Amino acid sequence: MLENVAIDASGAIVFFNKICIDGHSNGCFIRFVTHVHSDHTVNLSKSLLLCKHISGTPITLDLLDVLGYSIPKIKKLPLNYDQLLEFENIRIRLYYSDHIPGSAQVSVEKEGILLAYTGDFKNPGSKTVIIKEPHVLIIDATYGDPIYVREGEDIIWQKFVELVKKLLSQGSISMYAYYGKAHEVMMKLREYGIDAPFLLSHSHWKVHRVLERYGYRIQDVFPSGSRESEEVRKTGWFIEVNHISSAKNYRNTSFHIILTGRFAKTIYRLNSSNTWIVGISGHADFNDIIYYVDESKPHLLIVDASRSSYAEKFASIVEEQLGIKSMVMPKTIF
Ligand SMILES: [Zn+2]
């Protein structure tokens, strides 16, 4: 079985020596991208050169385009959730995962052997589909340590909305977030009745335009630098949305909110400054990951250590508590 599965040090997941997921390995015929976060687009430029096809959900492929990966049309292979892709004697499917727009899990079956990779996910069972009884399941264990058990999501959202309301009553806000997370937050704020205009950075704006085509609609959104955005700026009542990588270059707004997946505290103020750190994670917490494994019942669990520091610990807990054979790949990461 193990000859059919590998995770290399760069984070490439390789099934049957010819299907690469979220990384590149020589000899791969097709490269899948589970979602557009940068730890899952590793070496995509190599795959663009060397693989016959680049595949993912239609949203993911469109987002890759606007984020600067120009995938030749002839190589693009969009695959919807649950749609079957068959080549030679291999059957591939993508399954829904609740993480960011377009994110997917991948299952690959050949001669009765079913291999699966979850990618990043949260809310297994209620939103994220649980892939049942694969021979090998590769799982993301970002929060694979029992210390990572968090409050219910609704409670965190409520606290976050209260903070945003309070700050908006005193001035403008700059938020800093990853792709996908920013959109989840903007949609949630609208749901909670916050109607301050959003001013988006160039890259978030491009992502927004793609997501809009797929039905993620948000009212009163403007690209930073546009004439409308300058008008909005003069009112002093707006929320600016930037990529998290620009959190160090604070713009001229009254308050700053950095959105991370941290657990330590869900919301805290940085040294009584005008900056708040808000932890709204896109990843399952420890209990949710255990739940996925328990419901999935793989013959063998492989914990992805290339994207998690708790892989060893999680694998040993699964063996102990669920009696499911578990191991970690790759073995050493530095
Ligand atoms: Zn992610």
Per-residue model confidence (pLDDT) at position 151: 76
Q: How far apart are CA 317 and CA 322, in angstroms?
A: 8
Those residues whose C-beta lies under 8 Å from the C-beta of residue 49, and which sit 6 or more positions away, are none
CA of 78 to the centre of ligand 1 (A): 19
CA of 171 to the centre of ligand 1 (A): 31
As a whole number, the mean pLDDT across the chain is 93
The kind and range of the H/E element at 109 are strand 104-110
Q: How far apart are CA 77 and CA 73, in angstroms?
A: 8
CA of 21 to the centre of ligand 1 (A): 14
At 95-147, the pLDDT tens digits run 999 999 999 999 999 999 999 999 999 999 999 999 999 999 999 998 899 98
- Burial class of residue 38 in the structure, from the number of CB atoms within 10 Å of its CB (0-12 exposed, 13-18 middle, 19+ buried): exposed
Distances (CA, A) of 115 to 80, 110, 272: 19, 9, 49
Q: How far apart are CA 11 and CA 9, in angstroms?
A: 5
Q: What is the CA radius of gyration of the chain?
A: 21
Q: How far apart are CA 7 and CA 20, in angstroms?
A: 9
Among residues 174, 156, 196, which one has the least CA distance to residue 243? 174
Per-residue model confidence (pLDDT) at position 253: 67
Domains of the chain, each with CATH number or no CATH: 2-146+284-329 (3.60.15.10), 153-279 (3.40.50.10890)
- The residue among 289 and 265 whose pLDDT is bigger is 289
CA of 59 to the centre of ligand 1 (A): 15
pLDDT of 167 strictly over 70:
yes
DSSP state of 305: -
pTM: 0.93
CB atoms within 10 A of CB 234: 8
Q: How far apart are CA 6 and CA 14, in angstroms?
A: 5
Per-residue model confidence (pLDDT) at position 150: 79
At 201-233, the pLDDT tens digits run 999 999 999 999 999 999 999 999 999 999 999
Per-residue model confidence (pLDDT) at position 320: 97
- The residue among 58 and 87 whose pLDDT is bigger is 58
Per-residue model confidence (pLDDT) at position 333: 44
Q: How far apart are CA 308 and CA 196, in angstroms?
A: 37
Per-residue model confidence (pLDDT) at position 260: 84
Q: How far apart are CA 131 and CA 97, in angstroms?
A: 11
Distances (CA, A) of 66 to 36, 85, 175, 182, 326: 11, 25, 21, 16, 38
pLDDT of 191 strictly over 90:
yes
CA of 170 to the centre of ligand 1 (A): 33
As a whole number, mean pLDDT of residues 159-166 equals 96
CB atoms within 10 A of CB 170: 11
Q: How far apart are CA 303 and CA 271, in angstroms?
A: 36
Per-residue model confidence (pLDDT) at position 148: 87
Per-residue model confidence (pLDDT) at position 308: 86
Per-residue model confidence (pLDDT) at position 287: 95
Q: How far apart are CA 265 and CA 254, in angstroms?
A: 23
Quickly state the pLDDT bin for 334 (edges 50, 70, 90): very low
Per-residue model confidence (pLDDT) at position 247: 75
Per-residue model confidence (pLDDT) at position 265: 63
As a whole number, mean pLDDT of residues 169-194 equals 95
Residues paired with residue 105 on neighbouring β-strands, in sequence order:
95
User: Which residues line ion ligand 1, judged by CB < 5 Å?
Assistant: 37, 120
CA of 99 to the centre of ligand 1 (A): 7
Quickly state the pLDDT bin for 164 (edges 50, 70, 90): very high
How long, in residues, is the chain?
Answer: 334
Residue with structure tokens 């009884």?
A: 133
CA of 283 to the centre of ligand 1 (A): 8
Among residues 115, 68, 61, which one has the least CA distance to residue 93? 115
At 281-306, the pLDDT tens digits run 889 999 999 999 999 999 999 999 99
> How does strand 300-304 pair with strand 275-279?
unpaired
**155-164, 240-249, 318-327 — which one is most confidently predicted on average?**
318-327
Per-residue model confidence (pLDDT) at position 267: 85
As a whole number, mean pLDDT of residues 251-276 equals 80
CA of 227 to the centre of ligand 1 (A): 33
- The residue among 204 and 264 whose pLDDT is bigger is 204
Quickly state the pLDDT bin for 264 (edges 50, 70, 90): low
CB atoms within 10 A of CB 251: 13
Q: Which amino acid is at 55?
A: S
